[in-house]
Chain A
Amino acid sequence: MIEVENVSRVYNEGRPNEVRALNDVTLRIPDHAVTVLKGPSGSGKTTLLSLIGCLARPTSGRILLDGEIISALPEHFMAKMRRERFGFVFQRFHLIRGLSVVDNVMLPAYPAAPDYRELRERAMAALRRLRLEHRAGMKVELLSGGETQRVAIARALINDPEWVLADEPTANLDSALVEQLLEEIRMLKADGKSLVITTHDPRIIDSDVVDVVAEMRDGKITSVTEVER
């Protein structure tokens, strides 16, 4: 479980352009569930996701993962946490252009330096699962939008993390691809992964895969709803 306790995040603190992106947020995110952070642009969803995923530190407050404070870890351990416990699917996917699909998928595992053949097999297995095996050697810039997102998901899964964090995953997808994405979310959930997704897309929020919806506005959690089945 992830526990967010009284977390605030202030950008450019003390300067004229100071922005309070999060303001005293408290939230409990359950394991093995799909949690959606919902809200309009600028409500602080992405900032909260960044803090949960150890991409940044809160200005105040703390975040715990399975009872352990992760928001105040030294940088080296934050990196290890990002590598081992979290998988990220970014809004703009952020694949490295010029590299092949399989090389992009393997990237998060490089610092752990596993056996190359074993790593490549893992990457190919992830691609196979997402029906991208035939694209393994292709440069990522040549992929379609849906394929690009599936590569991003495969990359997020390469280190077999417990948590998958996705930022506005439907922002660049059409309806058919959104359906495909929901299938992939179902698949991850069935595998026992815990997912945190930021979105304001009703096609995700109203889907049957979502377990918890936390609504945000102006840097605050305004409501938390557990979806009943």
Chain B
Amino acid sequence: MFHWLARQRYLMDYTLAAMWRRKWRNLVLLVVFTLVVFLLASVSFFGSAVRFEAKRALKFAPEVMVQNLVLGRHALAPADWVDKLKGIRGTRNVRGRLWGYFYDQGNGANYTVMVADGSDPSLAVAPDEVIVGAGVARVREVEKLRNLLLLRPDGKLFKLRAKRILSDDSALLTHDLVLLSEADFREFFNLPRDAGFTDIALEVRNRREVATIANKISQRLPNARVVTREDILRTYENVFSWREGVLQAMLAASLAAFAIFAFDKASGLSAEERREIGILKALGWDTSDILAMKLWEGALLALFAFLIGAVAAYAHVFLFQAGVLAPVLKGWAVLYPQAPLTPQIDRLQLVTLAMLTIVPFIAATLVPVWKAAITDPEVVMR
């Protein structure tokens, strides 16, 4: 064992000297390799962080939401649906919800305007009060206990006092949020009390019966669209995964180009390298010594590049908010792009990425070296 380690130390020593002698070629390889890892790791880190945010935020979403459809489009749900839904066995905490979107012309931003459902006392809002997400506060330059002035859809000015600014902890869903009292919401959107609700939320006593309850609701309210929390999460994942998939497909092309480049540059042995391998063999180096030396070379380069690329991607996504990729991955949201992401890494994806980059690179390095190393060292005599 000690002899093996000592041998590896000698081989490593020679490898480092050899890498230094070909420093410019190795530097080009390092830069390209790092760039590919940086792009792929950025997509991976970003995807993991967004999925994590979505799961965390949706953990507090109602188990089932019931929406009214008129002409196939979402319309207000009649108020008497609340009682109808309460009559279905297995449901609990049935409540009508009021929420909508508001386009702030002055800032070109979309806000999600909601009535707090009262389940969380810290989110309770009295008339003339408002709780806003961090993004809204930033865009409107609102501080706690200051007034927020909004131009109602009918053109009238609406004044509210900011009771609280929500933190960035669950930025994905609260960043563009404006929480109002029910009275203010109805007044803001000019919605009569008997107009109903945006949708109706409910919980299911036995979680395993969510699908059964959803079926019962569909039978009792044929015009209703029943959406479960799992449906939302799945839809969200699908939409985001689609974006991520498109980007990864593009990056896969760059990965393929990199593989070709690596094969050519790392392993397309120059005459000088072939000669060097011949000399080492003639001096008594074994084929396994040559392969080990090249393995060290490939591994050092690949691991170093992977490390730099992954760390740079981490900084890019979590410190600099994925400035390069966010517009592609996030889509239309106006406020959300400023939402900070909670550092979250999918280890499996990272390991997969390492396997997809480091292993092909080392293989590309070793195969031609092996071909050169098994030839007779006699070549140096000619």
Q: CB of B256 within 8 A of chain A?
A: no
Inter-chain contact B378/A50, CB cutoff 8 Å: yes
* Choice from B9, B275, B282 contacting A82 with Cβ under 8 Å: B282
Q: CB of A98 within 8 A of chain B?
A: yes
Which of the segments A22-30, A105-113, A212-220 contacts the partner chain?
A: A105-113
* Choice from B9, B20, B280, B376 contacting A55 with Cβ under 8 Å: B376
Inter-chain contact B283/A83, CB cutoff 8 Å: yes
Interface string of A28-66 (1 = CB under 8 A from B): 000000000000000000110110010111000000000
Interface string of B264-300 (1 = CB under 8 A from A): 0000000000011001111111111100000000000
Which of the segments A88-96, A143-151, A170-178, A188-196 contacts the partner chain?
A: A88-96
| Pair count A-B, CB < 8 A | 85
Bound together, the chains give a CA A167 to CA B144 distance in angstroms of 89
Interface residues of B in 19-33 (CB under 8 A from A): 20-21
* Choice from A83, A94, A97, A107 contacting B380 with Cβ under 8 Å: A94
Q: Which of A55, A76, A99, A108 has the most CB of B within 10 A?
A: A55
Bound together, the chains give a CA A110 to CA B284 distance in angstroms of 9
CB distance from B286 to the nearest CB of A (A): 4
Interface string of A146-184 (1 = CB under 8 A from B): 000000000100010000000100000000000000000
A55-B378, A90-B380, A167-B381 are known contacts. Are A111 and B284 too (CB-CB below 8 A)?
Answer: yes
Inter-chain contact B10/A113, CB cutoff 8 Å: yes
Interface string of A112-132 (1 = CB under 8 A from B): 011000000000000000000
Bound together, the chains give a CA A111 to CA B283 distance in angstroms of 10
CB distance from B25 to the nearest CB of A (A): 13
* Choice from A83, A91, A96, A167 contacting B276 with Cβ under 8 Å: A96
Chain B residues near A79: list those with CB within 8 A: 281, 284-287
A90-B380, A94-B380 are known contacts. Are A110 and B282 too (CB-CB below 8 A)?
Answer: no
Inter-chain contact A55/B377, CB cutoff 8 Å: yes
Bound together, the chains give a CA A91 to CA B282 distance in angstroms of 13
Q: CB of A3 within 8 A of chain B?
A: no
Q: CB of A208 within 8 A of chain B?
A: no
* Choice from B7, B275, B279 contacting A111 with Cβ under 8 Å: B7
Residue of A nearest to B278 (CB): A94
Inter-chain contact B381/A49, CB cutoff 8 Å: yes
CB distance from B295 to the nearest CB of A (A): 15
Chain A residues near B284: list those with CB within 8 A: 79-80, 82-84, 108, 111, 159
Give the number of residues in A that approach B within 8 Å (Cβ atoms): 33
Inter-chain contact A111/B3, CB cutoff 8 Å: no
Give the number of residues in B that approach A within 8 Å (Cβ atoms): 30
CB distance from A32 to the nearest CB of B (A): 22
Q: CB of A75 within 8 A of chain B?
A: yes
Bound together, the chains give a CA A84 to CA B283 distance in angstroms of 10
Bound together, the chains give a CA A38 to CA B276 distance in angstroms of 28
CB distance from A90 to the nearest CB of B (A): 6
CB distance from B211 to the nearest CB of A (A): 66
Chain A residues near B281: list those with CB within 8 A: 79, 82
Bound together, the chains give a CA A50 to CA B377 distance in angstroms of 9
Bound together, the chains give a CA A108 to CA B14 distance in angstroms of 12
CB distance from A47 to the nearest CB of B (A): 8
Chain A residues near B14: list those with CB within 8 A: 107, 110
Inter-chain contact A111/B380, CB cutoff 8 Å: no
Inter-chain contact B21/A98, CB cutoff 8 Å: yes
Q: CB of B6 within 8 A of chain A?
A: yes
Inter-chain contact A107/B376, CB cutoff 8 Å: no
Inter-chain contact A113/B380, CB cutoff 8 Å: no
Bound together, the chains give a CA A83 to CA B381 distance in angstroms of 16
Inter-chain contact B17/A82, CB cutoff 8 Å: no
Chain B residues near A110: list those with CB within 8 A: 7, 10-11, 14, 285, 289
Residue of A nearest to B11 (CB): A110
Chain B residues near A103: list those with CB within 8 A: 17
Residue of A nearest to B20 (CB): A98
Bound together, the chains give a CA A84 to CA B6 distance in angstroms of 18
Residue of B nearest to A108 (CB): B283
CB distance from B18 to the nearest CB of A (A): 8
Residue of B nearest to A110 (CB): B10
Inter-chain contact A75/B285, CB cutoff 8 Å: no
Chain A residues near B289: list those with CB within 8 A: 110-111
Bound together, the chains give a CA A108 to CA B3 distance in angstroms of 16
Inter-chain contact B6/A155, CB cutoff 8 Å: no
**Shortest beta-carbon contacts, A-B, top 9:** A83-B284, A98-B21, A56-B378, A113-B6, A113-B7, A108-B283, A110-B10, A82-B284, A79-B286
